[in-house]
Chain A
Amino acid sequence: MKNKLLAGPYLVWMTIFTIIPLAIVMYFAFTDSVTGSLTFRNLVSLKQYGPIFMKSVWLALVSSLICLVIGYPVAYYIAGCAPHNQRFLYMLVTLPMCISFLLRTLAWVALLEDTGIINSFITSLGLSPLPLIRNDGAVILGMVYNFLPYMILPLYSVIVKIDPRLIEAAQDLGCNSRQVFGKVVLPLSLPGVISGVTMVFVPAVSTFYISQKLGSSGATLIGDVIESQFKAAYNPNLGAAMSLGLMVLVFICIALMNRFSDDDGESMVTV
């Protein structure tokens, strides 16, 4: 009884700010923008946005993988440091999160622009400026830069909890350091990999600000299209349908990843 009461404030919060809005999204998604009658037209018309959906998922996936490749070694390194240093490095990782996300993205614009800091330097050397901005690479860079801490932190917290005696046990049973990693550390850190990838993938797939500032004007992501439905095109019904589609897509991706970790995670990893 007591425990239920403790969850009360959150339940109220969730109802008002998540469940009711979701219901509204559903309502809009299934109604016509002009007549207000029930229709599947919005959802059917999502088909034409298929390539944009695919591209959003693709860029988010690439960003997640880059974050994983950069984040895992760092998390592993931090987890192996002395506790005192761990706290310091942990703070360093979280430090960028203290600065506004918008500001950090704008800072990249200032760096990468054709007349930006990097290109000014290059042109001052007498070379022609590089196309650093307005392309997918810049979008991925922005995503990786902004979401990297969300990869490192869950990985770190899982790796740091691995019992060092398990590593000794593996050595004792004949593992060299590469085998210790492949047979013990990596399988045991899979939950961290899954939650890290999820934490990067979900915000990356729905972002619109990064792509607006760093991406090319033609190559919009699904987040941008949704935004424009509400702000420019004023078609909230189509926007709601897109949001719904994106949500389903994200759920499918998460479910796929969790499947990997649930069914004997160790079989994925062989050295």
Chain B
Amino acid sequence: MAKELIRLANCRMDFDGETVLDSINLYINDKEFLTLLGPSGCGKTTTLRIIGGFLQPTGGDVLFEGVRINDVPPHKRRVNTVFQRYALFPHLDVYDNIAFGLRIAKLSEDEIDERVEEMLEIVSLKGFENRSINALSGGQQQRVAIARALVNRPQVLLLDEPLGALDLRLRKDMQNELKRIQQAMGITFIYVTHDQEEALTMSDTVVVMDRGRIQQIGSPEDIYNEPKNAFVADFIGESNILDGIMRDDYLVEFFGRKFKCMDAGFEKNAPVDVVIRPEDIDIVPPDAGHLCGTVTSVTFKGVHYDIIVDFRGFKWLIQTTDYQPVGAYIGIKLTPNDIHVMKKSEYSGMFGDYSSYSAEYDEINDPDAIIGEEDAPLPEESLNEE
């Protein structure tokens, strides 16, 4: 039903003998909102730049509607980009920035005027026509950048961490705004971010990348509920990841106990990674628990408490609305739905152990976390926003 628009076939990228992208295979449908998600250095921006035409892959093909476009320069592609930090022209005002692409296309001034005004309406910047770019706040510059790209009515809009420089509240507003614009205009969006929440909120399809490889492609629900390996499980949300052994179809053993689960198709007695989401764990009295452990740390998070529980030396993160004091001996209950089994991968053993838990795990996961969410002092920069 959906029409395929762009395909990357075995795309490779090597810089000075270093592999940045390792055979990327990906197709993007018309009118889809696709997000490339991963930590910095995972190759997501490189992938975007290959689609935009700013980089040529050292191997493999880029296809647009089935036609190979490896050698087509950026100005001949029906693709526009919203750059990281916007890259607005400082020598032009808001109007001329937005009109830039239309003037290059040699449209009549009447039509340019009409389309620029329409775009200003969409990004709610009416009346800002003659403002200098430097007189705008980060959020406004961001909207000019989106307008400058969208006014050309591209088939595909590429967005390279467009909200990275905005503060949290503005970022949430812009997320909704972008999603609305995408649906209203019926344009394919390819969006790059390292923010998993942003990816889950906005996307039809999420592509999780790491070390130049695609780790998983799927809908936000799939990615969250059925992570393919320890990296995805850890990068998308919080996860406790344990070593287990698949005793049989629908039966997994960990911590010396056998649990029913929803997964099948593994070899008998195959070692596996078991993912248990912190919010899925039920706390029960010790005598009713499948496993029992001692609370070692409690952090109030607003909606819930983060509690760390020590089970035989392996520390789990549990998110619960029930307060448990440090030192309490508690039991936990797991239903087959709470247990997700994954094949062992190169990432096994690297994630999912909360022994070195710190209350700042959110900030650690997100290198560009907005200061001010917690109790850190507000930097002057973010005060200027909006």
Residues of A within 8 A of B (CB): 163, 165-166, 168-176, 179, 183-184, 187-188, 265-266
Known: A165-B83, A169-B83. A174 touches B92 (CB 8 A): no
Chain B residues with Cβ below 8 Å from A183 are: 100, 104
- Other A-B pairs beyond A168-B81, A169-B89, 6, CB < 8 Å: A165-B87, A171-B74, A172-B79, A173-B100, A174-B105, A175-B104
Chain B residues with Cβ below 8 Å from A184 are: 89
Interface footprint category on B: 20 to 34
Known: A173-B148, A174-B105, A175-B104. A188 touches B73 (CB 8 A): no
Evaluate contact between A179 and B74: CB separation under 8 angstroms.
Answer: no
Known: A165-B87, A171-B73. A266 touches B148 (CB 8 A): no
Partner of A172, one of B52, B84, B91, B92: B52
Partner of B92, one of A163, A165, A176, A266: A266
Chain B residues with Cβ below 8 Å from A173 are: 75, 80, 100-101, 104, 148-149, 152
Chain B residues with Cβ below 8 Å from A165 are: 83-85, 87
Evaluate contact between A179 and B104: CB separation under 8 angstroms.
Answer: yes
Q: Which residue of A lies closest to B151 (CB)?
A: A173
B90 within 8 A of A: yes
Q: Which residue of A lies closest to B83 (CB)?
A: A165
Q: Which of B94-126 contact A (CB under 8 A)?
A: 96, 100-101, 104-105
Known: A168-B54, A171-B75, A172-B52. A188 touches B90 (CB 8 A): yes
Q: Which residue of A lies closest to B148 (CB)?
A: A173
Chain A residues with Cβ below 8 Å from B53 are: 171
Known: A168-B54, A184-B89, A188-B91. A174 touches B152 (CB 8 A): yes
Known: A174-B105, A175-B104. A265 touches B87 (CB 8 A): no
Known: A168-B74, A173-B148, A175-B75. A187 touches B91 (CB 8 A): yes
Say how far B95's CB is from chain A's closest CB, in angstroms: 12
Q: Which residue of A lies closest to B100 (CB)?
A: A173
Docked complex Cα distance between A212 and B53 (Å): 57
Say how far B78's CB is from chain A's closest CB, in angstroms: 10
Evaluate contact between A169 and B92: CB separation under 8 angstroms.
Answer: no
7 closest A-B pairs (Cβ-Cβ)? A173-B101, A165-B87, A174-B104, A171-B74, A169-B87, A172-B81, A187-B91
Q: Which residue of B lies closest to A165 (CB)?
A: B87
| 23 A-B pairs (CB sep. < 8 Å) | A165-B83, A168-B54, A168-B74, A169-B81, A169-B87, A169-B89, A171-B75, A172-B74, A172-B75, A172-B80, A172-B81, A172-B149, A173-B148, A173-B149, A173-B152, A174-B101, A174-B104, A175-B104, A179-B104, A183-B104, A187-B91, A188-B90, A188-B91
Say how far B210's CB is from chain A's closest CB, in angstroms: 25
Say how far A192's CB is from chain B's closest CB, in angstroms: 13
Q: Which residue of B lies closest to A169 (CB)?
A: B87
Q: Which residue of B lies closest to A176 (CB)?
A: B75
Q: Which residue of A lies closest to B160 (CB)?
A: A165
Docked complex Cα distance between A166 and B75 (Å): 13
Chain B residues with Cβ below 8 Å from A176 are: 73, 75
Chain B residues with Cβ below 8 Å from A175 are: 75, 104
Docked complex Cα distance between A8 and B251 (Å): 83
Docked complex Cα distance between A176 and B74 (Å): 9
Evaluate contact between B54 and A266: CB separation under 8 angstroms.
Answer: no
Q: Which residue of A lies closest to B49 (CB)?
A: A168
Docked complex Cα distance between A151 and B152 (Å): 39
Say how far B144's CB is from chain A's closest CB, in angstroms: 12
Docked complex Cα distance between A166 and B85 (Å): 11
Chain A residues with Cβ below 8 Å from B83 are: 165, 168-169, 172
Q: Which of B19-54 contact A (CB under 8 A)?
A: 52-54
Docked complex Cα distance between A184 and B91 (Å): 8
Q: Which residue of B lies closest to A184 (CB)?
A: B89
Q: Which residue of A lies closest to B81 (CB)?
A: A172
Evaluate contact between A166 and B105: CB separation under 8 angstroms.
Answer: no
Chain A residues with Cβ below 8 Å from B90 are: 166, 188
Docked complex Cα distance between A169 and B152 (Å): 13
Chain B residues with Cβ below 8 Å from A265 are: 91
Q: Which residue of B lies closest to A180 (CB)?
A: B75
Say how far A261's CB is from chain B's closest CB, in angstroms: 10
Docked complex Cα distance between A172 and B89 (Å): 13
Chain A residues with Cβ below 8 Å from B73 are: 171, 176
Evaluate contact between A266 and B81: CB separation under 8 angstroms.
Answer: no
Known: A168-B74, A172-B74, A174-B75. A266 touches B80 (CB 8 A): no
Chain B residues with Cβ below 8 Å from A163 are: 87
Q: Which of B138-175 contact A (CB under 8 A)?
A: 148-149, 152
Say how far B130's CB is from chain A's closest CB, in angstroms: 11
Q: Which residue of B lies closest to A187 (CB)?
A: B91
Evaluate contact between B91 and A266: CB separation under 8 angstroms.
Answer: yes
Say how far A165's CB is from chain B's closest CB, in angstroms: 4
Q: Encode contact with A along B1-30: 1 for CB under 8 Å, 0 otherwise.
A: 000000000000000000000000000000
Evaluate contact between B89 and A166: CB separation under 8 angstroms.
Answer: yes
Say how far A179's CB is from chain B's closest CB, in angstroms: 6
